[in-house]
Each structure stands twice: as C-alpha cells, then as structure tokens.
Amino acid sequence: MRRVLILGSTGSIGTQAIDIATSHPDRFRVVGLSAGSNVEMLAGQARELGLDESATALGAEGASELIRRLEPDVVLNAITGSVGLGPTLEALDSGAVLALANKESLIVGGELVTSRAAEGQIVPVDSEHSALAQALMAGRPAEVARLIVTASGGPFRGKSAEELHAVSPRDALAHPTWKMGRVITTNSATLVNKGLEVIEAHLLFGIGFDQIEVSVHPQSIVHSLVEFIDGSTIAQCSPPDMRLPIALALEWPRRVPGAVAGLDWSAAHTWSFEPLDDEVFPAVSMAKQAGAQGATFPAVFNAANEQAVDAFHEGHLSFPGITEVIAQVLGEHQPEEMTLEGVYQAEGWARTRADEVIAARRS
C-alpha cells in the first residue's frame, strides 16, 4: 500500500485523486492534504479521510513541511502555479515518487528540478505526458524519432488572426473538451498551455525541441504519440478523463483496474489530426524558443503569460495581446542565475515588466 500526500487537494486534480485513493483502499492511503486557501473544504476532506489537523496544511510552505514530517511514498503535487516549485524540490529531496500535476514547477525550475530527480522519480500527471510515458515503453530511448503532443485546438480552432481580436473572456473559457480553471482554460485557448507542455516534455524525457511536435486532434482521444526510428508510431488512447493519468501516476508503473471506462470499440469513431497554425497561434513556437534558451526564460514566459491572462479577463488586453505581451517581455529578458532565488527574481521582473507593457498598450 502506498502512502499518498496530496498537495492542492481542493482543486480538480486533488479531488479526483482522493476519489481514486478511497475507491482503492487496498492500494492507497492518503496520509496528508494541503490546499491554497480553501480552509473549509480542506477541513471537510480531512474529516472524511479520518485525518487530524496535523496532517493538513495551507500554502506552499505548509505543503513542504508536510512532506518532511509525513514521509509519504508518493507526493501528488497539484498546486496551481510556480509557487509549487518549493514543494516539488522538497518531494524530490525526500526520495518520494513525485506525481507531478504542477507543470509550472518543472518548467520554471528546469535543471533545478531535473538535477535533483532520480531516474523515474518524476511521474507526469498531465494526460499528454502520461501518454508519452506509456508510449515510450514500446522502445528504447535511442529508438525514439519524435514525440507528438496532441492539442484539442481549444475553442478558437480554425479562426483567423483577425477574428481573434473580437473574442471575449467568456468565449475563451468555453473549452470544447475539458473543464478546468480560468488560467489553464485560457492557456488552452491561446495554446500557451501546449507550449508549456512542449517544454515539460523536453525536460521529462530528454528529447530535443526539434524532435517534439504538436498536432491538433479535436476529439481528445489520442493523448499523444511517439514515433520510433523504424517508422512505427505508438499512440495512447482513452476517453478524456483525468482519473486515468492520476491513477497511473499514483501507482506507476502498475495500472489501477477500472480507473476509467474504456473506449467503446463497437461504435464508429472518426479521429482527425491537423497541423498547428503557428501564425495564428504563435505560443508553441515562442515556448520552444524560450525552452531552447533555457535558464530563466521559461520562467519569464510563464510569469508574463499569467499577468497577461489576468489583464485579458479584466478587460485590459485583447486576446491576441496575451502572446504579444509574452513576446515583448521575453525579448527584453536578461537571464538570471539558475538558483531558486534567481528563478523567483526572474519571475518578479517578468510580472512587473508585463504589467508595464500592458499599461502602456492601454494609454
């Protein structure tokens, strides 16, 4: 039985992880929970799991303290945002398996994170990276030709650059497949999220950016693919249900029976794949460039985007303005030293500079 600590327990990933753990008491025991600010919900979850106050905490510092004190076998980091970097490093230093849903900590931390991780210690929770991890089992690392990360295309698939100027925050939150929070749903609409996932794939699997591609797959059934050097392509397919990658990450590399219902192969299916329009959606190519530059550029990409997303939802920035602000801030960045302090300094600069750029565009 694996002792599981869930960070970000009140969010979508955290609540589903609790459901999985309680549905399989022979496999998992939740030993602790942390949340950002939802004290009432956290307390309710603790009561249902039979945990006392000493097994719960608020904030990133509280989450790190739980890791040190509870010594779990698995830490599910589902904290939102780069504030999850500290707990990610703490989990790796503890020797626990890190089930990583907090992609920002890996992206902004870069080599700070990868250098501390033992082989196989980080298990991805994102559906795309879980799919890649599963497909990569079909061959040796030297046999991998390409990683193909799929994208639904978001609510604006097929629109022109001119049409995007008129879209509203409400339009951006109307994702065709997944139900997520405001920031990640908007990131899916701009394809910033897919750019972040490309950086994450590079860091998780050690594959060069020139070997990672994005394909638009509106049905969200094929979660990603791996092409091998002999021309064979292995795809991971399942219904768009996050319980599968969560369960797999908690029990990796073993599978949890009945995690989700499988596809209905007695029914007809039509799956389509389209090339990404980099001119209309430049976020992926921008993310690849930031990832290739390394150092604190990915942290700046992420931080500038978060400020721009907030400005868009507050009515201070157009939808295309999100990626335009990111591009300007990235172009002005002078990289910091890759330390925890350097990453946070770069993020702080990026947020301030993004706010200045947004204010200048309004005047």
Angle at 188 between CA 180 and CA 192, to 5 degrees: 130
- Average pLDDT across the chain, whole number: 95
Q: Where are the domains of the chain?
A: 2-124, 125-241+254-280, 294-363
- Number of Cβ within 10 Å of residue 192's Cβ equals 29
pLDDT in tens, 164-214: 999 998 989 887 666 667 888 899 899 999 999 999 999 999 999 999 999
Q: What does residue 275 show for φ and ψ, rounded to 5 degrees?
A: -70, 150
* Residues 182, 172: Cα–Cα separation, whole Å: 9
Q: Which pLDDT score, from 0 to 100, does residue 362 have?
A: 83
pLDDT in tens, 78-133: 998 889 999 999 999 999 999 999 999 999 999 999 999 999 999 999 999 999 99
pLDDT in tens, 143-162: 999 999 999 988 999 899 99
Torsion-angle region of 237 (φ positive above 0: left; ψ -120 to 50: alpha; else: beta)? beta
Is the predicted pLDDT of residue 363 greater than 90, yes or no? no
Is the predicted pLDDT of residue 62 greater than 80, yes or no? yes
Please determine whether the domains at 2-124 and 294-363 fall in the same fold group of CATH: no
DSSP 196-237: HHHHHHHHHH---GGGEEEEE-TT--EEEEEEETTS-EEEEE
Residues 76, 101 contacting (CB under 8 angstroms):
yes
Segment among 8-17, 182-191, 251-260, 330-339 with least mean pLDDT? 182-191
Average confidence (pLDDT) over 29-57? 96
Average confidence (pLDDT) over 244-252? 98
* Residues 290, 235: Cα–Cα separation, whole Å: 27
Q: Which is the CATH superfamily of the domain at 2-124?
A: NAD(P)-binding Rossmann-like Domain (3.40.50.720)
> How buried is 129 (Cβ within 10 angstroms: 0-12 exposed, 13-18 middle, 19+ buried)?
buried
In CATH, what is the architecture of 294-363?
Orthogonal Bundle (1.10)
Q: Which pLDDT score, from 0 to 100, does residue 180 have?
A: 65
Average confidence (pLDDT) over 139-145? 97
Q: Which pLDDT score, from 0 to 100, does residue 1 have?
A: 94
Please compute, for residue 60, the number of CA atoms within 13 A of its CA located in the half-sphere on the CB side.
14
pTM: 0.94
